Amino acid sequence: MTASNGHQKRHVSAGLDRNRPVLPFFILIFSSWILWIPAGARAAAVLPFPWPFELAFFGAFMPFVLGLVFTVRAGGAAAFMRLLGRFIAWRFPIGYWVYALFAMPAAALTMALVLTTVGDSTLFSDGIARLFNGEAIAGVMARNNANVYESMGLFTAFYDWQAGSAAAFFIGFAGIALLEGGVSEEPGWRGFAYPVLRNRWAALPAALAVGAVWAAWHIGPQQWRILFADGLDAFLAFLPGYLALYVVGVLPLSVIFAWLYDSTRGSLLACFVIHASFNMTSTLANQMFDGPVILGVIALLWGTVVAILVTRGWRHFAPRHLR
């Protein structure tokens, strides 16, 4: 192994000890629920005092906080600086940039076209029309405002500004998607948990393990609202189907994000971008098209996982020169 290859391998593995315990991270990640459960109770008009939306929003940053904390515990200041460096690691082949930015919207548009062709319908043209006539944008804004609960003023002001023009909407849409989902989560999932597990096991089981916890973690305020609004029986009836759908959707994303992380020498910036791209695509596509489009996108994601396993195998997702 050359010195150059040795440097690359240490960069991809993030310099984290394979024996570093990950279970405490996976347990503590659910502390987000401490902020989300009261938000759900307040949304159901059960909590007798205000619960600002900003508190619920901060709950989404628990993977970020714990990713930094556990990285410092694992490797001290040096590991912390490596982690921060991966936040801005942009020097990787252009093809991965293209994939991170455009793969998700391309998948949604492709599935809309396929369903339009198969069904001989106007699904695709109607969806594009909803985007350009502002109907889809209005739907996203209505969804955002419904989720705010009781803002301390920050989100109310932000959404008021975002509603001012199409340009403001898309700038704000991209900014929030990059912040909540990309920056708020990836330092934990791909910054800490995945590299440690991959060095201990292999790429595929590590990605699937992270994906399983990632999916379960996503029981947010709107889901907890069902418990307080409709009762325990309704919540327990709802939860298995919700988690099953989330697992089916999140597991392929976890593998794809891991492949991108490995292939870009551990760039968390690439993970920020593709995470934001998926969140924007799924949110906007739900307003533009019918539900089957998103299900079709998930099918394409699983197809991508198969392609990764065929071309890279299940032990290593990085190209050979980076292993």
Query: What is the rounded CA–CA span in Å between residue 32 and residue 5?
Result: 39
Structure confidence at residue 288 as a pLDDT band (50, 70, 90): very high
- For residue 1, the model assigns a pLDDT of 37
- Higher-confidence position of 143 and 203: 203
Asked if 99 and 275 count as a contact pair (C-beta separation under 8 A), the reply is no
Query: What is the rounded CA–CA span in Å between residue 231 and residue 209?
Result: 31
3-state SS, residue 150: strand
Cβ neighbourhood burial of 69 (10 Å; 0-12, 13-18, 19+): middle
- For residue 18, the model assigns a pLDDT of 57
Question: For 16-34, what is the mean pLDDT?
Answer: 85
- For residue 11, the model assigns a pLDDT of 42
Query: Out of 13-17, 138-142, 297-301, which region has the weakest mean confidence (pLDDT)?
Result: 13-17
Helices (H), the chain: 3-13, 23-28, 33-43, 53-59, 62-87, 94-119, 123-132, 135-147, 154-162, 166-177, 184-188, 194-200, 203-217, 221-230, 232-263, 268-288, 291-312
- For residue 294, the model assigns a pLDDT of 87
Residue 138 reports pLDDT greater than 50: yes
- For residue 242, the model assigns a pLDDT of 93
Residue whose pair of structure tokens reads 């590991």 in the numeric block = 79
Query: What is the rounded CA–CA span in Å between residue 270 and residue 211?
Result: 18
Instruction: Please give the span between the terminal C-alpha atoms of the chain, in angstroms, as a whole number.
Output: 10
Q: Of 30, 83, 34, give the one whose Cα is nearest residue 213.
A: 30
Residues 151-197 pLDDT 10s: 787 888 888 898 888 899 999 999 999 999 899 999 999 999 999 99
Cross-strand partners of 52: 150
| CA angle (172 as vertex; 193, 179 as ends), nearest 5 | 15
Pick from 175-189, 288-302, 307-321 the range whose average pLDDT is largest: 175-189
- For residue 64, the model assigns a pLDDT of 97
Question: For 59-64, what is the mean pLDDT?
Answer: 96
Structure confidence at residue 75 as a pLDDT band (50, 70, 90): confident
- For residue 276, the model assigns a pLDDT of 97
Residue 4 reports pLDDT greater than 60: no
- For residue 142, the model assigns a pLDDT of 87
- For residue 15, the model assigns a pLDDT of 56
Question: For 75-93, what is the mean pLDDT?
Answer: 92
Residue 100: count other Cβ atoms within 10 Å of its Cβ. 24
Residue 191 DSSP class: I
Mean residue pLDDT across the chain: 89
Residue 12 reports pLDDT greater than 80: no
Question: For 279-294, what is the mean pLDDT?
Answer: 89
- Higher-confidence position of 150 and 284: 284
Question: For 239-266, what is the mean pLDDT?
Answer: 95
